Chains A and B, each alone.
Chain A
């Protein structure tokens, strides 16, 4: 069975600084996807970034980037130039790559990020 672990329940960062959120996962599969979702106080889950396991290049979306270490089964999220609107719960999620889009997401417990002015 696949598991996702986020070891940092809470983190804080000063506005405009950089913060890295950690995520590790466990799987014996070789074909999978990894995601970071953001859940602000409004509670809607918003997709931040995705990474395909077969790609060596780390995904980047504007101020958000990942450090994907497949051998170490590590998938950290780096937020550069943190903004107050980045304050949210961040969930790391795993999805197997087979079965088209039918596979369910497996979530970590989340990291609560507070951006301080």
Chain B
């Protein structure tokens, strides 16, 4: 069964460094999302992406964040200058025409 994959599973970085989190959505899906979950808190929406552009973003998704689909398979989230409060689990999700979103296993980002 096809699934969303994410790499790396765990990323440790120093404050102020740039990180790129990678996702490979399910191949025939058209809509892509990033969510984050700070430890012990609920899952929060960051951004959605369709037809090579951002379709919606939350107030969390400020100028430090960007997304890209550099080729036909990858979907990336870049954080330009990480802050301590960016430490969280980041989930990629994708969907086809239906309302269900399918999540990847997540990347745990630790900012020191």
| Distance, CA A36 to CA B108, complexed state (A) | 23
Q: Is there contact, CB below 8 Å, between A101 and B103?
A: no
With A50-B99, A101-B30 in contact, is A43–B45 under 8 Å at CB? no
- A117 CB within 8 Å of chain B: no
A-B CB contacts (within 8 Å), total count = 67
For residues 37 through 70 of chain A, which have their beta carbon under 8 Å from a beta carbon of chain B?
A: 37, 42-47, 50, 52
- B65 CB within 8 Å of chain A: no
- Give me 29 A-to-B residue pairs in the complex whose CB atoms sit less than 8 angstroms apart, sorted by A's number: A43-B105, A43-B106, A44-B106, A45-B43, A45-B91, A45-B103, A46-B103, A47-B103, A50-B99, A52-B99, A91-B43, A95-B99, A100-B97, A101-B30, A101-B96, A101-B98, A102-B48, A102-B50, A102-B55, A102-B56, A103-B56, A103-B99, A104-B58, A105-B43, A106-B45, A107-B42, A107-B43, A109-B41, A110-B42
